[in-house]
């Protein structure tokens, strides 16, 4: 079964990260620390802005909120991991920075349109189900 999934990064202005150096620094920081408990406050600190100002600046330049952007990146990273390796859904969820599997499943379905197990089956046919090990 071949799934057609829209490019998740098309949902926001990805060019903002190269145009605004402070946003680029934040994006680089997030790529390295995506598994960690990233916060708006920590991102604002990387950009050198106060939290409230950074929130408004980020939203105005990127087109979505910091939280939604972070969630999108984590879902995209999960999609990449599913294509690249055999891992359980919980391991993938925690590996990309979600704190619980249910939140990951809801976010994944919201952005991709199908639950993670369905997506994984479409990109890794014949995979042995190890989610209950």
b/e map of 16-30 (b: 16 or more CB within 10 Å)? bbeebebbeebbebb
Q: How confident is the model at residue 3 (pLDDT cuts 50, 70, 90)?
A: very low
Q: What is the pLDDT of residues 89-103, one digit of tens each?
A: 999 999 999 999 999
Instruction: Pick one of 1.10.10.10, 3.90.1150.10, 3.50.50.60, 1.10.10.60 as the CATH number of 65-124.
Output: 1.10.10.60
49-89 pLDDT, tens digit per residue, is 999 999 999 999 999 999 999 999 999 999 999 999 889 99
What pTM was estimated for this model as a whole?
Answer: 0.84
Q: Residue ranges of the domains in the chain?
A: 15-63, 65-124
Tell me if 35 sits within 8 A of 95, measured CB to CB. Answer: yes
């Amino acid at each position: 079964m071949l799934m057609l999934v829209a490019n998740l990064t098309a949902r926001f202005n990805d060019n903002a990260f190269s145009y605004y150096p402070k946003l680029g620094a934040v994006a680089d920081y997030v790529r390295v620390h995506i598994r960690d408990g990233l916060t708006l406050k920590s991102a604002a600190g990387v950009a050198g802005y106060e939290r409230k100002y950074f929130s408004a600046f980020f939203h105005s330049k990127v087109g979505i909120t910091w939280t939604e952007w972070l969630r999108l990146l984590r879902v995209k990273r999960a999609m990449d991991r599913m294509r690249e390796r055999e891992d359980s859904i919980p391991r993938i969820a925690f590996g990309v920075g979600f704190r619980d599997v249910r939140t990951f499943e809801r976010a994944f379905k919201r952005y991709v349109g199908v639950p993670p197990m369905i997506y994984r089956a479409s990109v890794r046919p014949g995979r042995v189900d190890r989610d209950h090990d």
